[in-house]
Amino acid sequence: MTDRDTLLATARAELYSAVVADTLDSLGHREQVVAPGLTALDDSLTMCGFARVGLYMPIYHDDETVNVYEHEIALVDDLKPGDVPVISCNGDLRLSPWGELLSTRAQVLGSTGCITDGCVRDVRQIREIGYPVHCGGRNPTDTKYRGKMMWTDVPCVIGGVRVESGDFVIADMDGIAFVPAAILDEVLSGALAKVRAETTVRDELRAGARLSEVFARHGIL
């Protein structure tokens, strides 16, 4: 496996959004968790991967010059194993930029999930293939006549967090945390150390230790 493959396998096996959020906080990065409102289509799935940003703008018509799907198709076809499309619609819930067929192609390419602050459609089919998606809502309308992806691999803001392609993301039933690429090694090392220490804390609590004693000993809650 490549280093990226190993990182993703380790994160998927051991980490979750809360411990990553705590580690980001401890390092002074306290604005990296997406505001509540983007929810998982399937709470049982955890998403770990690397952002690929697509930025939408609203439109109100379509004709032969608009070519509404061009950038969306190009982004999906360019996904690499471990990539997570992060589709910013600036919270426009008229837009459903993600559905079953995009999920199918993305999954075949090894994408580990999708995040959008727009809506999603084809929810039943996406759940059936087990592809993780977090979204702002559900809406059966197409983006045609309503929105177009205009840029890819540019910075965006989603749920109050600035995201760039290459940033690490972990998303589960608790929420979504983004880790800037420049601090990824430090954050993941700290998060792994914390989650492994929490195992010790959990074992002591199960053995009957007082919470105050355990917190004084380990500083973990």
Domains of the chain: 3-181 (3.50.30.40)
pLDDT, tens digit, 9 for 90 and up, residues 43-58: 999 999 999 999 999 9
pLDDT at 2 over 70: no
Annotated binding-site members for Mg(2+): 122
What span, in angstroms and rounded, lies between the C-alpha atoms of 13 and 179? 18
CA angle 79, 83, 87 (to 5 degrees): 85
Place of tokens 């089919």: 125
Place 218 in a pLDDT band, splitting at 50, 70 and 90: low
What span, in angstroms and rounded, lies between the C-alpha atoms of 60 and 176? 31
Instruction: Indicate the pTM of the whole model.
Output: 0.90
pLDDT, tens digit, 9 for 90 and up, residues 92-141: 999 999 999 999 999 999 999 999 999 999 999 999 999 999 999 999 99
What span, in angstroms and rounded, lies between the C-alpha atoms of 158 and 87? 8
What span, in angstroms and rounded, lies between the C-alpha atoms of 153 and 54? 6
Place 33 in a pLDDT band, splitting at 50, 70 and 90: very high
Predicted pLDDT at 197? 77
Mean pLDDT of the chain: 93
Annotated binding-site members: 99-102, 121-122
The helix (H) or strand (E) run that includes residue 178 is strand 175-179
Annotated binding-site members for substrate: 99-102, 121
